[in-house]
Each structure stands twice: as structure tokens, then as C-alpha cells.
């Protein structure tokens, strides 16, 4: 039995294969390259500000009603019994994320200032902003789990509590109602 493939599908397949095989280097990011705006800087800044203002006006006009609260199925892995088995792995992951964070800051401050030879631009723009967004979209909120600022605070809190004997570094003051939610 022969399979008949329509000519349009064959042409589309051939075009896709050709596009992959004939692809050249794309310059999607301008790391290290100077780029001059095609318009004066004040025009560019005014256009950017206008875009922000217009987007907020549109949001104010169309999002005035409170959103409908919808529930969806959730699985809290960190609140389950399996979390105790994952605890050493999660602690190591947090420490690794903190080490990478410190390395990135150090590379940005004292590393080679050529962006092609420094890991900081790649870590911030590609790994953090793009890569972590995809990981969070497909796996879950990994960013909250490996947040280096949270890890620093947890280490500070643990050290403070062990040194002072207090249950937490909080002052136990009520939240001021005039500050809102």
C-alpha cells in the first residue's frame, strides 16, 4: 500500500528541511555590540513612557471588575510526606542556586567586562529570564524554591535564632492597616 502525500505537504516539508539546513548565525542579542537608535533618545524615551501609560489606561478601563476566582488542581509536593525524602536534595539545590547567584554577581563586578567572556550576561538574560521562565511553566514555581534571596534570609534566620534563642527575628508588631494589603 502506497501512501499518497499531497504536494502542498511535500513542499512544506522541503521548505522546512531547507530552512534548517541552510540556516546561518542569527544575531538575536547584541552582547558587546554598540547599537545606535534610529531616532533621538528623547523620542525613544517618550515613546516608551507613552506605551507604559497607554497599557495602564487600557488595563484600568478593561480590568476594573475583580477577577473570577477559579480553582484548579494543585499538588503541593513540599507539604507531602515525600518532601522529607527530597529535603537533602532541595537543600543542595538551594545552596547550588545561591553559589551560582554569588558567582554571577562576582563575575559582573570583578570579571572580564567583555560580555562574550563573562558568564553574568548569559546567566541573567538567557538562563534566568528565559530559561527559568520555561522551567517554571513546565515544572512549577521552581523560582520560589531556589530564590537566592530567600536562601540568604533562611540562613540568617537560622543563625539568628540559634544565637539568640528567640523563635524568629520578627518584631511581632501588627501590620499597619493604612499600608493596605
Residue 179 belongs to a domain = no
Output the 3-class SS for the chain.
Answer: CCCCCCHHHHHHHHHHHHHHHCCCCCCCCCCCCCCCCCCCHHHHHHHHHHHHHHHHHHHHHHCCCCCCCCCCCCCCHHHCCHHHHHHHHHHHHHHHHHHHHHHHHHHHHHCCCCHHHCHHHHHHHHHHHHHHHHHHHHCCCHHHHHCHHHHHHHHHHHHHHHHHCCCCCCCCCCCCHHHCC
Residue 36 lies in a domain: no
| Residue 2 placed within a domain | no
pLDDT along the chain (181 residues), means of 10: 74 84 68 72 93 92 73 71 80 94 94 89 91 89 91 92 85 81 66
Q: Which positions ≥6 away from 107 have C-beta within 8 Å?
A: 118, 119, 120, 123
CB 168 within 8 A of CB 157: yes
Structural domain span for residue 131? 78-170
With 0.75 as the threshold, say if the pTM is over it: no
180: left (phi over 0), alpha (psi -120 to 50) or beta: left
Assigned domain for 130 exists:
yes
What pLDDT score does 177 carry?
A: 85
Q: Are 116 and 32 in contact (CB under 8 A)?
A: yes
| 64 within domain boundaries | no
Answer yes or no: is 135 within a domain: yes
Question: What per-residue confidence (pLDDT) applies to 28?
Answer: 57
Q: What local confidence, expressed as pLDDT, does residue 3 receive?
A: 66
pLDDT, residue 113, reads: 87
Does any domain span residue 103? yes
Looking at residue 67, its pLDDT comes to: 66
Residue 135, pLDDT score: 92
Q: For the chain, how many structural domains are there in total?
A: 1
46 belongs to a structural domain: no
What pLDDT sits at residue 115?
83
Q: What are the cell numbers at 12?
A: 512544506
What's the pLDDT score for residue 119? 93
Amino acid at each position: 500500500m502506497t501512501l499518497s502525500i499531497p504536494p502542498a505537504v511535500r513542499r512544506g516539508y522541503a521548505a522546512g528541511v531547507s530552512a534548517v539546513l541552510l540556516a546561518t548565525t542569527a544575531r538575536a542579542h547584541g552582547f558587546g555590540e554598540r547599537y545606535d537608535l534610529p531616532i533621538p533618545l528623547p523620542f525613544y524615551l517618550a515613546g516608551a513612557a507613552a506605551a507604559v501609560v497607554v497599557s495602564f489606561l487600557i488595563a484600568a478601563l478593561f480590568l476594573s471588575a475583580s477577577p473570577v476566582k477559579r480553582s484548579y488542581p494543585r499538588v503541593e509536593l513540599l507539604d507531602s510526606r515525600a518532601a522529607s525524602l527530597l529535603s537533602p536534595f532541595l537543600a543542595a539545590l538551594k545552596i547550588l542556586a545561591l553559589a551560582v547567584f554569588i558567582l554571577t554577581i562576582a563575575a559582573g563586578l570583578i570579571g572580564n567586562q567583555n560580555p562574550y567572556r563573562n558568564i553574568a550576561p548569559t546567566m541573567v538574560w538567557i538562563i534566568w529570564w528565559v530559561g527559568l521562565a520555561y522551567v517554571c511553566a513546565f515544572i512549577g514555581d521552581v523560582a520560589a524554591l531556589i530564590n537566592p534571596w530567600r536562601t540568604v534570609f533562611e540562613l540568617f534566620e537560622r543563625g539568628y535564632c540559634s544565637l539568640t534563642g528567640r523563635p524568629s527575628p520578627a518584631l511581632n508588631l501588627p501590620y499597619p492597616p493604612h499600608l493596605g494589603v
